Amino acid sequence: QAQLVESGGGSVQAGGSLRLSCAASLYGVSRYCMAWFRQAPGKELEGVATMDEDGDSTYADSVKGRFTISKDNAKNTLYLEMSILKPEDTAMYYCARRRNAYCYPLKELQRVIDDWGKGTLVTISS
């Protein structure tokens, strides 16, 4: 069974940093569109960042310049480096995979995701 397992969430103060990891079993990360989504309390799911087969990435405007998505194909792991964290970054963060090399734009990607992780909670205090 395809699995995505997130880790690295926690509670930090505003201005701090966190690195999330996503271990991808069975299909790995190298040949597919990988992404991070988040859902804040009472809000809809939001796309945060994507990375395609070639390593090209896109970001939501709200995180540009602060978050960096990356992957280690040998380790079958996706990462999200988050810095200059703000209280509004508080959310459950989900790793996602589309079993296709092409990444749709973030706003469209959610509906074509094949695999989801169970999430890791990030809480930013002011």
**Residue 27 confidence (pLDDT):** 87
The predicted structure's pLDDT at residue 57: 96
Between CA 26 and CA 65, with CA 109 as vertex, the angle to 5 degrees is 95
Q: Which of 48, 30, 38, 25 is nearest to 106 (CA)?
A: 48
Q: Please report the pLDDT score of residue 26 as a whole number.
A: 84
- At residue 47, what are phi and psi to the nearest 5 degrees? -70, 135
Question: Which pLDDT score is estimated for 50?
Answer: 97
Low-confidence ranges of the chain (pLDDT < 50): none
Confidence (pLDDT) at 59: 97
Distance, in Å, from the CA atom of 9 to the CA atom of 28, rounded to the nearest integer, reads 21
The end-to-end CA distance of the chain, in Å, is 40
